Amino acid sequence: MSCSRSARSNSDPSDQGPAQFLQGLSPAHLKHLQYSVPVREVPDRFSLFLAQEPRKPPVPKRFTFDALDYATREQHKPTKSPTKSLTRTTTPTTEIIQKEFERVRGVEWKFYLTFLCICILNLMAAWDATSLPIAIPTIATTLDGSAIQSLWLGISFLLAATAFQPVYASCADIFGRKSMLLSALTFFTIGAFIAAVTGNVTGLLLGRSLQGIGAGGIYVLTNLILVDLVCLEQRTRWTFIVGATWAIGIITGPIIGGVLVENGQWRWIFWLNLPFCGFAFLILPALSELKAAKGDMLVGLRRFDWLGLVLLVGSLISVLLGLTRGGIEHRWNNFRTIIPIIAGFMGFLLLCLWSRFSSLAPILDFKSSMNASSIATHICVTAQGILVFAALYFVPLYFSVAKPDLSLVRTGVCLLPWTITLASFAMLTAVFAVNKGNGSRYQPATWLGWFFTTFGVALMILITRTSTPSLWVPVALFSGIGLGILYPSLRASSLAQVAACSDTARLASAITNHSFFQSLGSTFGIAISTSIFQNSLQKNLLRHPLLSRLAQEYSKDAIALVQSIRKMPGGDNTLREDLGDAYTDSMRTIWIVLAVVAGAAFTASFFVKAGGIGARMEVVGEGREMRMMDCET
């Protein structure tokens, strides 16, 4: 250190130097300034980001010294000396630091506008996911859609989102983040417009599929952009804000959907997206500064896993078609049911083998996930998606049939014990169990979440047509608490093995896998529940002497029939009560299957190993020691 002081004291007094410049900075800027102590082997190394490579995209309220380092090394190269020097021989000029400081300060407000657009896009996705289930019976009646067609409005959206998330993640490195985010926004906007103006179920399915392609890009690119722009320690804060946006959408979505449908304006569920999309189209192209493309685009396209994409999309469609048609359109032992399901699972197996051994950039990277902990985490994430979206589509259906005197707005209000509890405990868990310094707590949080979820879903078996709020509200609280805890804890578990390393490729792969398996579970949650519901409803109607002859027809039009049930006269031993009991008993089968799924995931969660999220890094090597400081203390 004495040598360092001597070198600095002999420097040119006309050069103010960085130390004097830093003394003039405000406490707010000093708070976000991060550096590393120079080490013997690299005395000219002035600064280094904590746990990540220096990035070109803007980082809010923080210096980026990549340009400064380059200028220092080029303009002030150290002179060779027979003796080893422990300090830098030159000092970067104040002008270089000032130029870098002005550059970062100038793009700070662009970061906030970009992040605002990302939050708006996620709010739209949350509204779209939670407002549509209440409207499905009305849409089915208006457009004369069957039960399978009606529920495929949700399946097609999630299928497209699931299949194209890995595509967006791969293409984001080829074409850049901004180009892919704008393409996702374009698909979502066109799909919303088609869904709003179409006059038949086919057009609505097309619109929902296009929306799903865009939503898949929004889901995965949100997390990738946060990794690009925000350091590890600040990432929790910004992820929390995105989660709060989803919480607002989850809570308000069912009520918004109920209000619009109650007033005969269900198309406004889709029209509502367009003004927000327009705002994002104005801001993102002009002001966002996101990670640019890497390398030659043609080389990237040649390395793209086109065969993996075909296997993924084909396998998903094949399995889902077999599941949703089985038992209603074709018997389960019919080759039209068996062959698509077997072909789909064989396609998944081939995809896993191809991704594991292919020399191309895989559409899904399983190379870092072939261990018991990662596999258990993927099982838990998939199970969570199954439970959430099965409940999201069939709990509103329960209230519509079992409580037909409730308006659709009040039906949306009845979902608040689930939605508010889920959103509240998701944010609380993010703050107290997965925040800075408490990363090791996500594992017990995961166990606690699965305990509450399994218990809550099992209690839903007790719900009948005549159940009162004194029963279903506590059941909602238990399942809502559990699912809320699982959202941040399972995300932390998925990223635990790579969150503390500087390999952004591994981190991007972990983010993509987590988002993919969550959407995959959501897709199968609706498909499996649809199949169980239709088959159980047909069996229950066959047992009823007055309804047996219409069992096949009613099962195929089970969703559109809801509107007719709500208009039937009530009273004891009426047709409305008989149909309500048949619907409720059919949903009980769904809750039984979901309770088994939750129990299996609870068991799998004990195989998830704890990682080191939020831990401080200490890098120690032979003959060298570097202290890495947090970006915010």
Mean pLDDT, residues 257-284: 90
Helix axes 372-402, 94-143, angle to 10 degrees: 40
- For position 330, what pLDDT does the model report? 78
- For position 197, what pLDDT does the model report? 93
Measured CA to CA, the distance from residue 106 to residue 524 in angstroms comes to 46
84-89 long-range contacts (CB < 8 A, ≥24 apart) are 84/40, 85/3, 85/7, 85/43, 86/3, 86/4, 86/40, 86/43, 87/3, 87/4, 87/7, 87/8, 87/38, 87/43, 88/7, 88/38, 88/43, 88/44, 88/46, 89/7
- For position 304, what pLDDT does the model report? 81
- For position 379, what pLDDT does the model report? 92
| E strand or H helix at 618 | strand 618-621
Indicate the range of 21-25, 55-59, 379-383, 407-411 predicted with least confidence.
Answer: 55-59
- For position 47, what pLDDT does the model report? 38
612 pLDDT above the threshold of 50: no
More confident residue, 160 or 147: 160
- For position 56, what pLDDT does the model report? 42
- What percentage of the chain has pLDDT greater than the value 70? 74
- For position 103, what pLDDT does the model report? 55
For residues 510 and 497, is the Cβ–Cβ distance under 8 A?
Answer: yes
Measured CA to CA, the distance from residue 584 to residue 218 in angstroms comes to 36
26 pLDDT above the threshold of 90: no
| b/e burial code for range 379-389 (CB count within 10 A of at least 16 → b) | bbbbbbbbbbb
CATH number assigned to the domain with residue range 370-607, chosen from the 4 options 3.40.50.720, 1.20.1250.20, 3.30.450.40, 3.10.310.30: 1.20.1250.20
Which is nearest to 60 in space by CA: 116, 139, 143, 15? 116
More confident residue, 627 or 103: 103
For residues 627 and 37, is the Cβ–Cβ distance under 8 A?
Answer: yes
More confident residue, 256 or 20: 256
- Domain edges within the chain: 2-105, 370-607
Indicate the range of 40-49, 98-107, 219-228, 410-419 predicted with least confidence.
Answer: 40-49
Indicate the range of 163-167, 358-362, 380-384 predicted with least confidence.
Answer: 358-362
More confident residue, 25 or 307: 307
> Please, which pLDDT band fits residue 51 given cuts at 50, 70 and 90?
very low
Measured CA to CA, the distance from residue 318 to residue 343 in angstroms comes to 7
630 phi, psi to nearest 5 deg: -65, 150
The chain-wide mean pLDDT, for the chain, equals 77
- For position 497, what pLDDT does the model report? 58
Measured CA to CA, the distance from residue 487 to residue 381 in angstroms comes to 9
- For position 54, what pLDDT does the model report? 41
Mean pLDDT, residues 391-416: 90
- For position 69, what pLDDT does the model report? 45
Strongest mean pLDDT among 276-290, 402-416, 584-598, 614-628: 584-598
For residues 384 and 486, is the Cβ–Cβ distance under 8 A?
Answer: yes
Measured CA to CA, the distance from residue 25 to residue 62 in angstroms comes to 12
> Please, which pLDDT band fits residue 371 given cuts at 50, 70 and 90?
confident
Indicate the range of 45-49, 196-200, 518-522 predicted with least confidence.
Answer: 45-49
For residues 357 and 370, is the Cβ–Cβ distance under 8 A?
Answer: no
98 pLDDT above the threshold of 70: no
Mean pLDDT, residues 489-505: 68
Measured CA to CA, the distance from residue 173 to residue 186 in angstroms comes to 19
pLDDT digits (tens, 9 = 90+) for 417-441: 999 999 899 888 887 766 644 455 7
For residues 461 and 595, is the Cβ–Cβ distance under 8 A?
Answer: yes
625 pLDDT above the threshold of 60: no
For residues 309 and 140, is the Cβ–Cβ distance under 8 A?
Answer: no
